[in-house]
Structure 1
Amino acid sequence: MANISTVKQLVRLCRDAQVTLFIWGIHGIGKSSVVRQVAEESGIGFIDFRCAQIEASDLRGMPDRGSDGRTHFLPPADLPASGEGILFLDELNRASQDVLAAAFQLVLDRRVGEYQLPPGWSIVCAGNFSEGDYHVTELDPALRDRFLHVTLSRGSKTFREWAVWMSENYPESALEIVDFCGINLQHLEPRIREELGFQITPSRRSWEMAARILQACRAGKYPKRICTEALAGLVGRSLAVAFSKHHLPVRPEQLIEDGL
């Protein structure tokens, strides 16, 4: 589980590494706000699709007869055509099956139908837990394996960051709300078990994404804890911790080459 600052750094890291981030959390915790803040701070575009409220044609486009007499899909005007930015697919696990199919084609291939996502754009997805009153679709294990998963924590772990954000954006009215909710965090949001409902396990694909993450971590000089958190979202936390403590053995040839 991660606080707001950690999730924001993971959004940036995944964008650098060209890995798709999947943010999990309870409804209303601010998943879209966090991603929007990263886009604004980076000076890039932001497009928000609420997958539970759209149809497949909103991603795939509408069919039209082309000059060749064949059916072509007209790309939706809401999808980016150029520039740089983050395309945010929210409530992905509450989408209908046809929307899921279109969304995953976009995530996996960076294209859907005849539409191609511009190179300067990255994708971030988000979903709600399967606990409580949420009506969600369980994602196929092969599809889950395409993401780096992180949980945006509720309660005390993110309360201070939320309080600062509220005070900055609503200086005249936030103090009373922050004080009231701070007395008892049950006033802030429902108590729901923050469990993914599945176990993050390694695969050759996830280790390949881990290699891209490590390259981006070193190039961007990200803190080690962020790199470990990212690896945990790809191969599981126990393996991520073990890997972070792993050191390559020193070969005799290397000592000779280094003049030691």
Structure 2
Amino acid sequence: MPVSTPMSAHPTSQLDVATDLLTLLRRTTTEPRPDPQLEALTLAVAADLPVLLWGEPGIGKTASLTQLAAALDLPLTTVIASVHEPSDFSGLPVVGDDPAGQGVPMAPPDWAVRLVKAGRGLLFLDELSTAPPAVQAALLRVVLERRIGALRLPPGVRIVAAANPRSSAADGWELSAPLANRFVHLQWAHDHEVVVRGLGGTWPRATLPRLDPEKLPEAVEFARRAVGGLLSGRPGLVHRLPSGETRRGGAWPSPRSWEMTQCLVAFAVAAGSSREVLSLLVRGTVGDGPGLELLACVDRMDLPDPEVLLADPAAAELPERGDLRQAALDGVVEAVRARPDKARWDAAWALLIRALETGAPDLVVVPASTLASLREEDWDVPASIERLAGVVSLSRRADRAAATAKAGVGGR
């Protein structure tokens, strides 16, 4: 009669092998890699502002938050907002011995107690767009006042949330306007190259921005001038509640969101962040329209002083970006118009020559034509102007050819 072999050892050993295989699959490394959306996220986290990541399901929002928490050495606490009751955020009433004299305290949930005891951490509110209105109302104090029941989250705790657009969320709700206005909204999208390299075992490294201590006062002054300068000229942008329910659930301008924007501009300047990162942050706080207006205001603030350019044209440093270079040259011509003088007029021509030598020739056409119109009768034409004559003439011929071609098409 055959002897049966005990089978109890085989499943265990195979599960151990499977565990080893899973461990190898989950073992990844990180590398420094430019990632504007990840840099914007870390900058907002450093600024201690609540962030809301918007994106389709399955593109790695949760994985990015897990990696961010690990990189920043912050304990991660994930709370699925849609499966909780309002009392889980506002606190559960606990009746004591003398409720008439001591009141009824609101007991916080265990995850909030753990965060307070740890003194630091990353609170991740997932699936925010599937939370019903009553839960969203309870989250207002958590996001703004950092209070959960009778507890107040310590300064070392950062808050990040994630949501799917209503079209792709299961039983989704639009975010309420009061809750939406408390977040920095970042549109999260997958990068094909990042995903491919990450599946190969290497993901981008999330690091807190390096703030330059010497730039802090300058950064604060710059942010205040940028936001204050825009709102002084555009008072209608101070508070603009969108009319549609969907747009109210995103970024829109209010005194609260402008204060957040000012903070983010200061952090971006102190960290030396790129314009792309700054664009993601400001548009995610006050919306696309006001955000783009602020970026234009920031660009104008970065323009060199026309008087400095006129004082030493040979050493002048002009912006590399075409639109900014055009604006700088226009500013120089306007400065000459405001205070016409032969020496200043000559200096402006020298500056246009330098712009011609260091950038696109077409950018000097309009400033050169305007500057020529400012000449007074007793002003001799600089010899260097001949170098510009060909560019202006060529531009005018091109304009005439384009106009002729357009007229020919229209006449058919």
Aligned AA for 1:25? G
Give the aligned partner of residue 300 of structure 2.
246
Give the aligned partner of residue 213 of structure 1.
264
- 5 Å matches for 1:72-111? 72-79=105-112, 80-81=115-116, 82-111=118-147
User: Are the aligned partners of 2:142 and 2:148 in contact in 1 as well (CA < 8 Å)?
Assistant: yes
* Separation (CA, whole Å) in 1 of partners of 2:268 and 2:157: 19
Structure number, greater radius of gyration: 2
- 5 Å matches for 1:140-151? 140-151=176-187
Shift of 1:228: 2.0
1:117 pairs, out of 134, 142, 153, with 153
Give the structure with the higher percent helix.
Answer: 2
* Separation (CA, whole Å) in 1 of partners of 2:58 and 2:197: 17
State whether structure 2 residue 183 is matched by structure 1 residue 160.
no
TM-score using structure 2 length: 0.49
State whether structure 2 residue 45 is matched by structure 1 residue 45.
no
Give a deviation string over 1:32-91, Cα, whole Å, max 9, x none.
Answer: 111111111111111111112222333333321234423212221112113222111111
- Identify which range, 130-139 or 12-21, moves more after superposition: 130-139
Shift of 1:248: 7.2
Q: How many residues of Structure 1 are paired with residues of Structure 2 in the alignment?
A: 220
- 5 Å matches for 1:134-213? 134-154=170-190, 158-168=191-201, 197-198=246-247, 200-213=251-264
Give a deviation string over 1:86-129, Cα, whole Å, max 9, x none.
Answer: 11111112112332122222001111321211110011111111
Report the secondary structure of 2:124's partner residue: strand
Call closer, same or farther: CA 1:65–1:35 in 2, change over 3 Å: same
* Separation (CA, whole Å) in 1 of partners of 2:83 and 2:178: 25
Call closer, same or farther: CA 1:50–1:204 in 2, change over 3 Å: same
* Separation (CA, whole Å) in 2 of partners of 1:235 and 1:61: 31
Give the structure with the higher percent strand.
Answer: 1
* Separation (CA, whole Å) in 2 of partners of 1:8 and 1:67: 50
Give the aligned partner of residue 88 of structure 2.
58
Call closer, same or farther: CA 1:125–1:133 in 2, change over 3 Å: closer
Unpaired runs of at least 5, structure 1: 170-195, 253-260
Shift of 1:224: 3.0
TM-score using structure 1 length: 0.75
Aligned AA for 2:275? K
Call closer, same or farther: CA 1:251–1:207 in 2, change over 3 Å: farther
Unpaired runs of at least 5, structure 2: 1-33, 203-244, 308-412
Shift of 1:244: 3.6
Percent identity, aligned pairs only, is 28
* Separation (CA, whole Å) in 1 of partners of 2:127 and 2:161: 8
Aligned AA for 2:82? A
Give the aligned partner of residue 129 of structure 1.
165
